[in-house]
Amino acid sequence: MSDTLDRGADPGQAQPSASAEHPSRRLPGDLPLEDLVDRIIRVDHAGEFGASRIYDGQLAVLAGREGDPSIRRMAEQERRHLAAFEQLVLERRARPTLLHPLWHVAGYALGVGTALLGREAAMACTVAVEEAIEEHYTRQIERLGEDEPALRVLLAECRREEVEHRDTGLAEGARDAPAYELLTGAIKAGSRLAIWLSERL
């Protein structure tokens, strides 16, 4: 991972392509920039916390088994994402989601539940969650337009690693999970609902 998550973004770095192609996606009637940034930090902090809890649950079941190294690597990256957003919560005085206790329990339960179905189901969970998160980060980058360059670089870095996690899940047998389409569809829908709620509450 680049130093973006450790020391803060360098605005002189290459910016996400979405912003280059679309200098501004913010329109009259959109949230004021300060409110938009507060919402972005709140929901992304919640999302990275939830992802960390999912991996905690999976490792509680699958520790020491096949697939463990990949899950540990992805979990460590999610913890680094979470630390970056925790720092932003403090620096920007953003309000954390009121649903934090719920995501603490729900994320862990999802991790344990999918791991109990087998390593492939755990990887299918990763695929579903990361596809929803990739879409989410892309929308955020586009909505910021040319504003908040350091935040956009952080979002782009997180998005890149979420895509890597999705690809890892696919490469390690996610599609072999029982009822793959049904499982990933349900998890993706739940992830999108969690995003919507955490933005607002």
From the DSSP assignment, how many helices (H) and strands (E) are in the chain?
8, 0
Mean pLDDT of the 118-127 span: 95
pTM for this model (two decimals): 0.80
Per-residue model confidence as pLDDT tens digits over 4-31: 454 444 433 434 443 344 445 545 557 7
76-97 pLDDT, tens digit each:
999 999 999 999 999 999 999 9
CA angle 26, 15, 163 (to 5 degrees): 95
**Per-domain residue ranges for the chain?**
31-200
Query: Under CATH, to which class is 31-200 assigned?
Result: mainly alpha
At 66 the pLDDT is 58
What is the C-alpha separation between 96 and 136, in angstroms, rounded? 18
**Residue 27 has what pLDDT?**
57
Integer Cα distance of 192 and 185 in angstroms: 11
pLDDT at 145: 86
Give the model's pLDDT for residue 25: 56
